[in-house]
A and B are shown apart, each in its own frame.
Chain A
Amino acid sequence: EIVLTQSPATLSVSPGERATLSCRASQSVSSNLAWYQQQPGQAPRLLIYDASTRATGIPARFSGSGSGTEFTLTISSLQSEDFAVYYCQQYTSWPKAFGQGTKVEI
């Protein structure tokens, strides 16, 4: 079973700053990795799939990179609506696993 480890657990940043989130897989997932954003009280929303492809309607300030076991989600200039929890998820093999999340806070 593939385990995903996200870091840091909490990231404190200011509006307008750049945020870099990390996701590490316990074994290679190729580029089969997605990122989700979850606002309080809401369902997760797909941001990125195939490691670097933005989902429909996702602003260009969100970008994903990496392959194999190391992945990064970058938010180039944080807006107020970006303060949320972010999860990575692999879909190379079953069971599909999620990371434990990174909370981006002010």
Chain B
Amino acid sequence: EVQLVESGGGLVQPGGSLRLSCEASGFTFSTYWMNWVRQDPEKGLVWVSRINSDGSSTDYPDSVKGRFTISRDNAKNTLYLQMNSLRVEDTAVYYCVRNAYYFDYWGQGNLVTVSS
């Protein structure tokens, strides 16, 4: 059974940093592209980063480029999202999501709240 278990969310002040982790199991992690997608009531579902299977290529939308960094450790079956210079508008539930095109498996979600 495919499982994606996120951790690392919480409350952080504007300008602060946070690192999300996603531990994968039930499939060969090292052969899949992975993504982070966030959801908030105003903007809905928004893709925020992707990484290819060996970690050599990443991509971000303009809204987070230069502030967020996606990475992976295939030996540990774990995906990461390092979030720096956080803004109030980054407040959302963050999902770890599998696959390169359509998203076939999602983690349970991890709430990140940016507030003073």
B26-45, CB < 8 A from A: 44-45
Q: Which of B59, B104, B107 has the most CB of A within 10 A?
A: B104
Give the residues in chain A near B102, CB-CB below 8 Å.
34, 46, 49-50, 89, 91
The answer to whether the Cβ of B46 comes within 8 Å of any Cβ in the partner chain is: yes
- Closest 10 A-B residue pairs measured CB to CB? A34-B102, A43-B106, A98-B45, A91-B101, A49-B102, A95-B61, A96-B47, A46-B104, A100-B44, A43-B109
Give the residues in chain B near A50, CB-CB below 8 Å.
102
Per the bound structure, the CA–CA distance linking A90 and B59 in Å amounts to: 17
A87 engages B101 (CB within 8 Å): no
Q: A43-B95, A96-B47, A101-B44 are in contact. Are A89 and B59 (CB under 8 A)?
A: no
The interface size bin for chain B is 10 to 19
Per the bound structure, the CA–CA distance linking A25 and B107 in Å amounts to: 27
B101 engages A98 (CB within 8 Å): no
Interface residues of A (CB under 8 A from B): 32, 34, 36, 42-46, 49-50, 55, 87, 89, 91, 94-101
12 further A-B contacts with Cβ under 8 Å, apart from A43-B95, A50-B102, are: A32-B101, A36-B103, A43-B109, A44-B95, A45-B106, A46-B104, A55-B104, A89-B102, A89-B103, A94-B59, A97-B47, A100-B44
A87 engages B45 (CB within 8 Å): yes
In the assembled complex, the CB of B59 is this many whole angstroms from the nearest CB of chain A, namely: 6
Interface residues of B (CB under 8 A from A): 44-47, 59, 61, 95, 101-109
A44 engages B101 (CB within 8 Å): no
Q: A43-B95, A43-B108, A43-B109 are in contact. Are A95 and B47 (CB under 8 A)?
A: yes
21 contacting pairs across A/B (C-beta < 8 A)? A32-B101, A34-B103, A36-B103, A42-B108, A43-B95, A43-B108, A43-B109, A44-B45, A44-B95, A45-B106, A55-B104, A89-B45, A89-B102, A91-B101, A91-B102, A94-B59, A95-B47, A96-B101, A98-B46, A101-B44, A101-B45
